[in-house]
Amino acid sequence: MSQLSYRRALTQAIDEEMARDAGVFLIGEDVADSGGAFGLTRGLLAKYGEMRVRDTPISEEAIVGLGIGAAALGLRPIVEIMFMDFIFLAMDQIANHAAKMRYMYGGQVHIPLVVRTLSGGGFRAGMHHSQSLESVFGHIPGLKVVMPSDAYEAKGLLKSSIRDPDPVIFMEQKSLLGAKVEVPDNDYLIPLGVAKVRRTGSDVTIVAIGIMVSHTLQAAEELAQEGIEAEVVDARTAMPIDSDTILNSVKKTNRLVVAHEAPAPFGFGAEIAALAAEKALYYLDAPVIRVTSKFTPIPVGRSEDYILPGKKDIVEAVHRAIKGG
């Protein structure tokens, strides 16, 4: 085991998969000579050469389109969209081509494409560089949507995403880039669509994704000092959703809080709340409570702190759930 940052775990995952499979290649803006906007691809050009690590023009549609074509022919492209906010420029390619091609051709064509992109707040970079759009892509049949919560999760999930036969939107949260945890030195995979219970408890289930897992674990420790034992479920993927793990936890604790950084309307939390209402309604002793950002564009600078949710919001939500809503 080694202490590894989220940033370096991602680099290692790409490096190891490129070494393992000659069909894996990386394209995107500034991924080659510059080593990526945040150093996430540093050293890969020198190791694998410009035929497998290549800078592209500033055209998200063209970048993803190239990746789809290469994937359809049997390669395994890793496409980087520098900030998730820019991904809308490639929505036709992602939603109408990558996501649908396997279905259109009756399973004869697979698109093993990974679209990596930096998402969420944390850098106080404003409304055009800070969005969390997991629910947008989770709504499109044919896509998998991955949101790792720490370096261990990031490496294992990215390696699985690269090996997956279908297109994956891989969301890397900027606020986690420097966070370190222990990561195995040996090769390992984390299956897509399998949630993880990060902390067991009996009083309330908190389902979280991405950076909110860290905030939730901190909140759970604070709640434990009050005698409230929270069970923390790391969803790992916004699509597919591991309904069995979530429902089993809710049936045990009888209360549910869902935490994500994106706004509430039509979000991941709404889907989990609907799941609980449809499959575990009579186990619930209180309404489902969502902890999300405020429904507004994210401002530049320190004002971001008033918009994004954190530990305090989760603690307050659990108190409401314990009291019955």
Torsion-angle region of 39 (φ positive above 0: left; ψ -120 to 50: alpha; else: beta):
left
Q: Is 139 a catalytic residue?
A: no
Q: Where are the beta strands (DSSP E) in 31-173?
A: 53-55, 76-83, 114-119, 144-146, 168-173
* DSSP β-bridge partners for residue 145: 169, 239
In angstroms, the CA 125 to CA 145 distance is: 23
Active-site option among 97, 128, 129, 319: 129
Burial of 257 (0-12, 13-18, 19+ CB in 10 A): buried
The separation between the first and the last C-alpha atoms of the chain, rounded to the nearest angstrom, is: 43
Dist CA 164 CA 167 (whole Å): 8
Is 163 in a helix, a strand, or coil?
A: helix
Q: How far is it, in rounded angstroms, from Cα 127 to Cα 119?
A: 11
Using CA atoms, how far apart are residues 205 and 285, in angstroms rounded to an integer?
Answer: 12
- Burial label for 99, CB within 10 Å (0-12, 13-18, 19+), is buried
Task: Return d(Cα 223, Cα 230) in angstroms, integer.
Answer: 7
Q: Supply the residues annotated as catalytic.
A: 129
